[in-house]
Structure 1
Amino acid sequence: MKLSVIITTYNAEEWLHKVLVGYSVQTIDDFEIVIADDGSTDKTKAVLALFSNKFKYPIVHVWHEDKGFRKSEILNKAILKTNSDYLLFTDGDCIPRKDFVSIHLKNKEVNYFLSGGYFKLPMDVSKAITDNDIETQNCFNVSWLKKQGLNLNFKATKLTHNRYFAAFMNWLTPTKRTFNGHNTSCFKKDILAVNGFNEDMQYGGLDREVGERMFNNDLFSKQIRYSAICIHLDHSRGYYSQEGWNKNLAIRAFNKKNGVVKIKNGIEKLP
């Protein structure tokens, strides 16, 4: 297979259902879905069962017990369960446009990771999206979103279907080419080389930190913010804590200053 899509989730069955509909209508099918499940109930298994025959390859469900926010750990476990040499990381609240996987494959390049973005929706519009709206791609249509009551601004340009305009905006945007957990792809060997995600980190920049260590390992990044489009469904963030955020910032600052490539508490537990 050409690619493994790693989707993180935690007790968000309604959103995960919509996301999987998005992957079921991709323009290519030579990829697998790997669910990195941070301790969800059996309701998530029920959703996955609905999609068991919708993909070319079986869905891989990687689960561990709910012991609080352990996203880095479940991502590392998911990476080891993938069956391809190229990985696309995203979240269970991000519906992909039908060309999402193909854009990542088209732009992949040795010694690079790809940095994508998202278009964020409010809760009422997130709820309004039906399976049919995803299958017909209405939910990526600016006119349709406006009819749902969305107040549009410049950020709606991310929904462009013009690849030349998208390429120009990728070049123009001041947004940094970071490793984004909702929309990033890389070669598996490159994330293994930095020992995966840092399990000392909880919510707040844990994805960016991986990219920063990749930079320390002489990798580059490529901007596809306006080309690989996904829409972000709204949700609360009950796992946020300022203390945890400050700890993560300190880890990132240390790793940048010291050129850290491999962290100790990652895929491998180093001495």
Structure 2
Amino acid sequence: MDISIVLATYNWPQALERVVKSFLSQQTQASFEVVIADDGSKDDTKHLIDQVKSTSHIPIQHIWQEDQGFQLAKIRNKAVVAAKGEYIIFVDGDCIVPSYFIQRHYELAKTGFFVGGNRILLSENFTQVVLEQKINLADKSLLYWFVKRLSGHCNRLLPLVKRALGSWRESRQKWQGVRGCNIAAWKMDIIAVNGFDESFTGWGYEDSDFIIRLLRAGIKRLDGRYYAPLFHLWHQENSRGQEQENLSRLQQVIDGTHTQAHVGINQYLT
């Protein structure tokens, strides 16, 4: 099984460097690539990606679109089409992953299911230290994170406590609680629901819409908590000027019955 990491980014190359480096530190038997889904970043992001690609031992693609506001759904769709893997893991460009992240998702992957993982939030001060000192968080021990928790540099430890695989992971079939920064799904299932709905522009709820439609199409949820966590760098909140409009659009999805995105990935398929 080949895996593609779809890594969304926008104008934060300092964070993107740490995230990509964490993927270069993976210990896994899986074959994977990184597809950077760039929603219109400036040239400094491209320069960073070119630099990393020149020394990377894994394939890296850079999919860019013109900056026309927050269009995460659109750039994710384009990245999925470009992805060579049959299994897609969606990660945000401000989320550093532990060295076992891909291997754990590889072990969770199951036909007919998508996976929702969870995250640990890092403090503002610790985020600044990580970026300035270029700390590699991918291989840090549980003891390291225990100290950081006591120091207030992260919000919790429980996601790092590994729980065994089992049927209990298939029991929760609600869309609530799935984080867009840590989702995995089969490429054929993503295409089957027409990908992400590009009607959602600006911040908010395109991930929830996607999950609702997957569930409605018969793709079940497999719980990735306590197995495949990641570390979310602190940042100021994105503009939420479109939140109410997107929330209203999501409510229409909840009240509806459709599985297909209104404006989705099919337009990019040949």
Counterpart of 1:127 in structure 2 is 128
3-state secondary structure, aligned to 1:68: coil
Amino acid of the residue matched to residue 186 of structure 1?
Answer: A
Q: Which moved more, 1:48-57 or 1:33-42?
A: 48-57
The structure-2 alpha-carbon separation of the partners of 1:35 and 1:175, relative to structure 1 and needing over 3 Å to count, comes to same
Counting matched residue pairs gives 264
Cα contact 1:113–1:186 (8 A) shared by 2: yes
3-state secondary structure, aligned to 2:179: coil
**Matched residues in 2 for 1:211 and 1:225: separation?**
16
3-state secondary structure, aligned to 2:157: helix
3-state secondary structure, aligned to 1:186: strand
**Pairwise CA distance, 1:247:** 1.9
**Matched residues in 1 for 2:173 and 2:128: separation?**
31
Counterpart of 1:150 in structure 2 is 152
Counterpart of 2:35 in structure 1 is 34
Structure 1 segment 107-186 matched on structure 2, within 5 A: 107-129=108-130, 130-134=133-137, 136-137=139-140, 141-146=144-149, 149-150=151-152, 155-160=156-161, 162-164=162-164, 178-186=177-185
**Pairwise CA distance, 1:33:** 0.3
Cα contact 2:123–2:154 (8 A) shared by 1: no
The structure-2 alpha-carbon separation of the partners of 1:170 and 1:189, relative to structure 1 and needing over 3 Å to count, comes to closer
Structure 1 segment 1-271 matched on structure 2, within 5 A: 2-28=2-28, 30-129=31-130, 130-134=133-137, 136-137=139-140, 141-146=144-149, 149-150=151-152, 155-160=156-161, 162-164=162-164, 178-202=177-201, 203-241=203-241, 244-269=242-267
**Pairwise CA distance, 1:30:** 1.6
3-state secondary structure, aligned to 2:266: coil
Cα contact 1:10–1:37 (8 A) shared by 2: yes
Cα deviations across residues 95-119 of structure 1 (Å, max 9, x unaligned)?
0011101111101111100011100
Cα deviations across residues 52-107 of structure 1 (Å, max 9, x unaligned)?
14544431000011111111111111111000110000100000011101111101
Cα contact 1:52–1:59 (8 A) shared by 2: yes
3-state secondary structure, aligned to 1:237: coil
Identity of aligned residues (%): 27
Specify every segment of 5 or more residues in structure 2 that has no aligned partner in the other structure, as ranges: none
**Pairwise CA distance, 1:263:** 2.2
**Pairwise CA distance, 1:246:** 1.9
Cα contact 1:139–1:145 (8 A) shared by 2: no
**Matched residues in 2 for 1:184 and 1:69: separation?**
20
Q: TM-score, normalized by length of structure 1? A: 0.87
Amino acid of the residue matched to residue 108 of structure 1?
Answer: A
The structure-2 alpha-carbon separation of the partners of 1:75 and 1:257, relative to structure 1 and needing over 3 Å to count, comes to same
Amino acid of the residue matched to residue 101 of structure 1?
Answer: I
**Pairwise CA distance, 1:193:** 0.7
**Matched residues in 2 for 1:230 and 1:127: separation?**
17
The structure-2 alpha-carbon separation of the partners of 1:120 and 1:171, relative to structure 1 and needing over 3 Å to count, comes to farther
**Pairwise CA distance, 1:268:** 2.5
**Matched residues in 2 for 1:184 and 1:103: separation?**
13
**Matched residues in 2 for 1:90 and 1:246: separation?**
25
**Matched residues in 1 for 2:143 and 2:244: separation?**
36
The structure-2 alpha-carbon separation of the partners of 1:180 and 1:238, relative to structure 1 and needing over 3 Å to count, comes to closer
Amino acid of the residue matched to residue 236 of structure 2?
Answer: S
Cα contact 1:198–1:266 (8 A) shared by 2: yes
**Pairwise CA distance, 1:173:** 9.5
3-state secondary structure, aligned to 1:263: coil
What's the C-alpha RMSD, in Å, of the aligned pairs?
A: 2.8
**Matched residues in 2 for 1:163 and 1:192: separation?**
31
